Chains A and B, each alone.
Chain A
């Protein structure tokens, strides 16, 4: 059974970098049949996809246009996990962040991390 467990700080200072990790059990980050995604959810923006990384003979990533200049999603095969880095955060980036697996659907989700942006 696939499980995703998120970790990372719940408080980030404005202009700093938000970093979260999603540890995978029951699957491999190198699985060529799936993708590893990050989402966020806020009352003002709803549930929003941020980007994904996936392996298909080599590593790929793609990102939501609105955050593309600030975001990196990267795999760590040695630890079987993937990470989100979102730089130069503002209060608009405050949300609950989720990792999730899946290419044509998102069938496994992390527990969610509430991120506050405040000095």
Chain B
């Protein structure tokens, strides 16, 4: 089955840039979604189709991918951005299923 790998934690100071990576076999060929999940809340979609933003999501969030890695970049980090960030793809192999990475927790210093 398809596996997505994310580092467990990232930290950034306010105003700096945080980068979240999501590793998966040939992920460049897949559509990647990214979610922000604050403690005790449901996930919120911040990037879909690898690089598109839903309405209402700030331009500070951007997505990209290359080879076996998808990346979510968050510029001008704010205290309110502290959350877990999860990547997601649809595994269209033998087992059709949504697959998530383990999530990366952002600590704002």
**Nearest CB in chain A to that of B45: its residue:** A107
**Number of B residues whose C-beta is below 8 Å from A?**
22
- The B16-33 residues at the A interface (CB cut-off 8 A) are 31, 33
Interface string of B87-109 (1 = CB under 8 A from A): 01010000111111011000000
Interface residues on A, range: 10 to 19
Residues in B37-86 with C-beta less than 8 Å from chain A: 41-45, 48-49, 54, 86
Q: Which residue of B lies closest to A37 (CB)?
A: B98
Closest 4 CB pairs of A and B: A49-B98, A109-B42, A105-B48, A47-B100
**6 A-B contact pairs sorted by A residue (CB < 8 Å):** A48-B100, A65-B95, A65-B97, A109-B42, A109-B44, A110-B42
> Which B residues form the contact surface with A (CB < 8 A)?
31, 33, 35, 41-45, 48-49, 54, 86, 88, 90, 95-100, 102-103
